[in-house]
Amino acid sequence: MSNFTRRRVVITGLGTVTAVGNNVADTWDNIKAGKNGIGPITKLDTSVQKVKLGAEVKDYVYHDKKEARRLDLVSQYAITAAIEAFAQSGLVAGENIDANRVFTYVSTGIGGIMTLEEDIKDGYAKGFRHVSPLLVPMIIGNMVAGNVAIQFGLKGSALDIVTACATGTDSIGQAFRAIRDGYAEAAVAGGSEAPFAPVCFAGFCNMKAMNTTEDPNRASIPFDKERGGFIMGEGAGILILEEYEHAKARGANILGEVVGYGSSCDAYHITKPHPEGEGGAAAMQAAVDDAAIDPSAVNYINAHGTSTPYNDLFETRAIKKVFGDAAYKLAVSSTKSMTGHGFGAAGAIEALLCVKAIEDQILPPTINHKVPDPELDLDYVTTGARPAEINYTLSNSLGFGGHNGTIIIKKFED
């Protein structure tokens, strides 16, 4: 297939596990309702930390108890979301698609940190000969993609694309390119994260990146003048991407179309975005150019919107840099106000929510916004979900190391 031949890439399946729902329907219903998934942390002891709140997945049980013992929670979340996505898609490797032509780009930014910490504690307490022989395959990041591929018999390329908090978005973007350019017919793409391990939590606490309030309704408050840090979240988001003609030939229900992807690096600081949003703007502009649209065609941006003082300001500057006057005519929101920050899973969950926004023609809200910031003057959808004409959505993700990723998803038209 010539690299100059651009094939259409559509979305035929969605699956998710989040702090507001263990499937797509519940998650989307709660997002539209503005339900806050943030509350007191139960998965670790916070008594020695200033941060007390998190966005934990609730009432989650993996479908196979025996298999669960061999999988870190990060792989469990990914597989659960993938089962839902494949069920909706109807795609079955080896039956209605060649298994060698299905890629697996399901990634994690942090990996099996919960298993790693437990085995380190066991090693020091009981002796290191007691460390589990399953430790390595449970903690290494590539096993998320590997376990999903094994679960569904997917024999194409299987990669863990690690770009910190841009991981989920970049995984979808690279899967999009692989299908568009003829290397694959379909892909399962997204991200998963299960970071509630004491050492991981302490690291984020000690860098003072997270909000220390004990009020869940003032914890993750993107674009609010009183924002003071992000809230740790977890979960997974999975999209099934498929070449349009293949999906059409098998009568698949097409949910949306991926039309643009951009990636960049700030090359500025290990944790802080560029003050003028240069890298974020470059990723958005690259995605717009890739989609071959005018920036004014975009109706909605699901922002990275972490609720940190720097991120929300610099991302707003980046949006203005790319969209100019049109920035004031589009809607921007951060669903992290409800789901918390799921790191490697965040971009995939948010891309999925963009698909649902297009499907229902409803803008997801930014909840708990109370104090306007004069420097943040865009339409952040702060008064609840609202109906709107949505043809093009854009999802941003920014990660430590200066990584920026942007995906553009449009309403499907045959």
Catalytic positions:
165, 304, 341
277: left (phi over 0), alpha (psi -120 to 50) or beta: left
- Phi first, then psi, for residue 171 (nearest 5°) are -65, -45
Token pair in block for residue 54:
């998190």
Helix (H) or strand (E) holding 103, with range, is strand 102-107
Token pair in block for residue 2:
């010539």
Q: Say how far apart CA 255 and CA 402 lie, in whole Å.
A: 31
Helix (H) or strand (E) holding 6, with range, is none
- Phi first, then psi, for residue 235 (nearest 5°) are 130, -160
Query: Among residues 358, 315, 318, which one has the least CA distance to residue 336?
Result: 315
Please check whether residue 170 is in contact with residue 403, taking contact to mean a CB–CB distance below 8 angstroms: yes
Residues in Cβ contact with 2 at an 8 Å cutoff, skipping those fewer than 6 apart: 182
Sign of torsion over alpha carbons 64, 70, 72, 78: negative
Please check whether residue 400 is in contact with residue 160, taking contact to mean a CB–CB distance below 8 angstroms: no
Q: Say how far apart CA 322 and CA 93 lie, in whole Å.
A: 40
Report the DSSP beta bridge partners of residue 14: 239
DSSP assignment of 224-268, as one string? BTT---B-BB-EEEEEEEEEHHHHHHTT----EEEEEEEEEE--S
Please check whether residue 57 is in contact with residue 42, taking contact to mean a CB–CB distance below 8 angstroms: no
